[in-house]
Amino acid sequence: GAAELGPYRHYMQKEIFEQPRAIGDTLEGVNGITPELFGDGAYGIFKQIDRVLILACGTSYYSGCAAKYWLEEIAQIPTQVEVASEYRYRTSVPDPRTLVVTITQSGETADTLAALRHAQSLGMAHTLTICNVATSAMVRECRLAYITRAGVEIGVASTKAFTTQLAGLFLLTLALAQVRGRLSDEQEAAHLKAMRHLPVALQAVLALEPQVISWAEDFARMDNALFLGRGLHYPIALEGALKLKEISYIHAEAYPAGELKHGPLALVTSAMPVVTVAPNDALLEKLKSNMQEVRARGGVLYVLADADTRIGSGEGIHVIRMPEHYGALSPILHVVPLQLLAYHTALARGTDVDKPRNLAKSVTVE
């Protein structure tokens, strides 16, 4: 009811603004990295596995896509991410030394549960879930679990569940890195410090809302939008596009920026805004040349730039500068302005933000 919404107009908006609390709660009590954060016997299981298979749907699938970059870079463990509805019906090559990781807000998504059971039937017994509902079927059926503490999520478009999943997946990355001898005490301390800073960092990103609202006024008049990212931020571009299509009904697609020239560049005109997630990482220079390709075709850029990048606003380039540079945790921060962009664009278009047409919060039948 209205009372629960407090000062907010919609649950989605409330849930976006709850993220500092949700992440803080999800990481509460984590005073050091240990496999046992995932349950009794986790150390023994982590010792036996040499690959990771992530299975999920929707927004949860995109958090898995981001985690793949962490798992391969930080824990140096080969990782595959697959949409649950694809995995459950295809012939794949099982490997009993796989850690099967399901990611699900509800813990009841039919395809994700079926994909888990399919993996188990193929002889993969090492299972772990990142889940927001402790009493769910998924938690009962997986050997190990990390329960995110986003709290009840009501908006159909997932927001705080996504960022808390990322926090859980980052912990999993660190625990696997530790077991594999790839996490020094200094690295562990630095990562923990960065994680503890997340609630404050998120608060500062939420304060960018007025700037995002001015972008949303432009987007509300568009029929299409393109989202670009590279590396760890390609899944964030995917999630940004998903949010926009789910609630504003604007056709949106995401591409890894290096693929621009292999197709989507043909679509770029002044009627196709291009959102670019541009953290100041090793790929920034490459991303800048992708942005020039967009400008050369008259495309209008909306850039989320890190604090220390030198990309500036100008003709056809709108920049929102992130308050800080966040290192490995950057996806958790960069997704927030994209959530707000979808929210305010939908608001301007007058759609039913919390209950978008044709979509359900939890898809418990196939």
Active site residues: 361
Which of 13, 79, 98, 105 touches ligand G6P (CB under 6 A)? Answer: 105
Encoded amino acid at 88, one letter: R
Q: Which residues pair with 227 in a beta bridge?
A: 254, 275
Alpha-carbon distance of 56 to 78, in angstroms, equals 17
149 vs 191, which CB is nearer to ligand G6P? 149
Alpha-carbon distance of 218 to 272, in angstroms, equals 11
Q: Is 104 in the site for ligand G6P (CB under 6 A)?
A: yes
Alpha-carbon distance of 89 to 98, in angstroms, equals 19
Could you tell me the smallest distance in angstroms from the CB atom of residue 243 to ligand G6P? Answer: 9
Please choose, out of 7-15, 98-106, 168-176, 256-264, the segment that lies near ligand G6P by the rule CB under 6 A: 98-106
In the complex, which residue's CB is closest to ligand G6P? 58
156 vs 226, which CB is nearer to ligand G6P? 156
58 vs 231, which CB is nearer to ligand G6P? 58
Report 46-65 residues binding ligand G6P (CB under 6 A).
57-60
Could you tell me the smallest distance in angstroms from the CB atom of residue 342 to ligand G6P? Answer: 12
Residue 252, sorted as left (phi over 0), alpha (psi -120 to 50) or beta, turns out to be beta
- Asked whether the beta carbons of 146 and 168 are under 8 A apart, the reply is yes
Please choose, out of 31-39, 101-109, 183-191, 319-327, the segment that lies near ligand G6P by the rule CB under 6 A: 101-109
Which of 66, 147, 156, 275 touches ligand G6P (CB under 6 A)? Answer: 156
- Asked whether the beta carbons of 88 and 111 are under 8 A apart, the reply is yes
98 vs 159, which CB is nearer to ligand G6P? 159
Please choose, out of 15-23, 31-39, 103-111, 143-151, the segment that lies near ligand G6P by the rule CB under 6 A: 103-111
Which of 26, 85, 109, 129 touches ligand G6P (CB under 6 A)? Answer: 109
Q: Is 362 in the site for ligand G6P (CB under 6 A)?
A: yes
19 vs 109, which CB is nearer to ligand G6P? 109
Alpha-carbon distance of 83 to 137, in angstroms, equals 19
Could you tell me the smallest distance in angstroms from the CB atom of residue 24 to ligand G6P? Answer: 21
Determine what percent of the chain falls in helix, strand and coil, rounding each to the nearest 5. 50, 15, 35
- Asked whether the beta carbons of 277 and 228 are under 8 A apart, the reply is yes
Please choose, out of 68-76, 104-112, 121-129, 280-288, the segment that lies near ligand G6P by the rule CB under 6 A: 104-112
Q: Is 363 in the site for ligand G6P (CB under 6 A)?
A: yes
Q: Is 359 in the site for ligand G6P (CB under 6 A)?
A: yes
Q: Which of 72, 144, 63 is nearest to 104 (CA)?
A: 63
The maximal CA–CA distance of the chain, rounded, in angstroms, is 57
Q: What are the distances in angstroms from CA 32 to CA 183, 190, 192, 195, 292?
A: 12, 11, 7, 11, 44
Which of 19, 26, 98, 106 touches ligand G6P (CB under 6 A)? Answer: 106
Could you tell me the smallest distance in angstroms from the CB atom of residue 104 to ligand G6P? Answer: 3
Alpha-carbon distance of 339 to 333, in angstroms, equals 11
For helices 330-349 and 234-248, give the axis angle rounded to 10 degrees. 20
57 vs 346, which CB is nearer to ligand G6P? 57
Q: Which of 221, 223, 241 is nearest to 348 (CA)?
A: 221
Report 259-298 residues binding ligand G6P (CB under 6 A).
none
Q: Is 158 in the site for ligand G6P (CB under 6 A)?
A: yes
Could you list the residues that contact ligand G6P (CB under 6 A)? 57-60, 104-106, 109, 112, 156, 158, 359, 361-363
